[in-house]
Amino acid sequence: MTRHAEYAVAGDPAARSALGPNQIDQLGEALLALTGEVWILTDRLAVLEAILAEHGIDAAGAIDRFVPSPDMEKALNAKRDKLIATVLAALAGQAIPAPT
Amino acid sequence: METPTLASPRLAQRGRAAINFQAGIGIASARLLAQAERALADRGITADTLPEDMDARHDTVAHVIGDHPAFRLNTLLSEWRAKSHGPVARDAFEEQRDQLVPALHALDAGPSRLVEEPIPPLPSYWADTEFHRTEGGWDSSAYNGYVHGEILHKLMLAKMFPGDIFAQRRAAASAAPRRDYARILDMGASSGHYTVALAEIFPAARITGIDLSPRMLEHAARSGNARGQAWQLHVRPAEDTGLPAESFDLVTSFNLLHELPPPVIDAVFAETFRLLAPGGDMLMSDVPRFAELDRLTAWRFDHLAKWGGEPFWRASASMDLAAAATRAGFTGVTAGGIGTAPTFHPYLIQGRKPA
């Protein structure tokens, strides 16, 4: 450790600040946007489990064992990017992006 | 009988849950404001002690509870919902576009129609305002009439606003003194919710609707066709319709006047007088008059309007509409709220053109 110290760039994490004071509102709005997304997923999961139960399937264990296919992974990635873009737009105080 | 597409918009799961969340935020926001108002009272400020001047009222509230967490969170939720409700509804529509667009166009054919004619120059109070903070304005997308008239009204606003917003329209229309009007003009018909109420209350009348938004009127036409109605719809300003004098027996509006600056409201009453046949009735419904509300309730309306894309609400709600109607020549003018305390919303102004 000691012999590498001369190569280290001095930095004080305690003094580091990513968001400025004027971004606190955007942070609050990002939290709301994120909560909305969590709610949508909660709703969807409840619907999915109800539908599966109607067909005699206990989904909880099957979900834990499930491995996404490459196509599904690609689709999930696109949804993930939309989620991230929505939150980042709120953080940046920008318009919510239209669907692509 | 409404078609399923209009009676209860069927959204895909994401859109349905996202709109549902918007309604939840609206409800939470109202609760936070009530909590903030209780904190205001705890700190000695009530409807009786608030200043008369509205700007001074805002200053007092900001000074006394500006740092209260409920007030701050109400601001956060209101601001976020104001910005996001339009995009969320737009995305909900896009998610179901393949199903919705053919269903909507199936309603293009029928006796109700948006009359094809040159669109008059748009007045600046309309062209320069994003009412209700609707990003891009009412005509920002081809199906905005459905997005705002059906998705937002039926799945968000109806759950957030106190009372039954559609029953309020029927109650307003029902307040007209007669049931035998042959020709009715709906000023500010928008996507047609009040027009629906008029058609229900006056089934034999020929109904004309005007508005400045073609996208909203296109949807109103579909709504009329879904009900087998023959509404004639025009893109015209209410203050200068260009329609023939003395060509209506009832001229009416619901929630139009607070979107207009006072000189235009005066012009609307004058135009209404011109359009009515002798003995015809004027019936306008709008937001309560500030002068008739307690100061805290009036402040609440002004607070919501100030940040909700309602630039003319204060000037309009401060106007004596009964006096304006009388100035225009109407006789037997009456005005007052027909709802419950403390707002008594909706507020009605009625009068008759002398025979």
CATH code of the domain containing B179: 3.40.50.150
What is the band of B49 on the pLDDT scale with cuts at 50, 70, 90? very high
- Domain co-membership, B284 together with B218: yes
Shortest CB distance from A47 goes to which of B13, B22, B76?
Answer: B13
Q: Which residues of B touch A47 (CB under 8 A)?
A: 13
Burial letters A13-51, b for 16+ CB under 10 A, else e: eeeeeeeeeeeeebebbbebbeebbebbeebeeeeeeee
Q: Do A39 and B21 touch (CB under 8 A)?
A: yes
In a domain, B64, yes or no: yes
The pTM assigned to this predicted structure is 0.87
Q: Do A96 and B84 touch (CB under 8 A)?
A: yes
- Measured CA to CA in angstroms, residue B274 lies from A34, B248, B330, B349, B353 at distances of 53, 9, 11, 17, 9
Q: Which residues of A touch B20 (CB under 8 A)?
A: 39, 43
Q: Do B20 and A33 touch (CB under 8 A)?
A: no
Q: Do B90 and A98 touch (CB under 8 A)?
A: yes
Alpha carbon of A42: minimum distance to chain B alpha carbons (Å): 9
Structural domain harbouring B340:
163-352
A25 in reach of chain B (CB within 8 A): yes
A15-19, B144-148, B328-332: segment of lowest average pLDDT: A15-19
* B213 vs B138: CA distance, rounded Å: 6
* Amino acid (1-letter code) at residue A90: A
Q: Do B17 and A43 touch (CB under 8 A)?
A: yes
- Domain co-membership, B84 together with B168: no
- Domain co-membership, B177 together with B237: yes
Nearest CA in chain B to A24: B76
Tokens of A79: 């949804």
In a domain, B267, yes or no: yes
Q: Which residues of A touch B17 (CB under 8 A)?
A: 39-40, 43-44
CA dihedral B72, B74, B75, B81 (to 10 degrees): 150
Closest C-alpha to B176, from B283, B313, B38: B283
In a domain, B130, yes or no: no
Examine the pLDDT at B1 and tell me if it is beyond 50. no
Indicate if the alpha-carbon torsion angle B67, B70, B71, B76 is positive or negative. Answer: positive
* B180 vs B175: CA distance, rounded Å: 13
Residues comprising chain B, all counted: 355
- Domain co-membership, B324 together with B215: yes
Radius of gyration for the alpha carbons in chain A, expressed in angstroms and rounded: 21
Q: Do A43 and B94 touch (CB under 8 A)?
A: no
- Domain co-membership, B182 together with B63: no
pLDDT, residue A22, reads 78
Q: What is the pLDDT of residues B169-186, one digit of tens each?
A: 999 999 999 999 999 999
ipTM of the assembly? Answer: 0.70
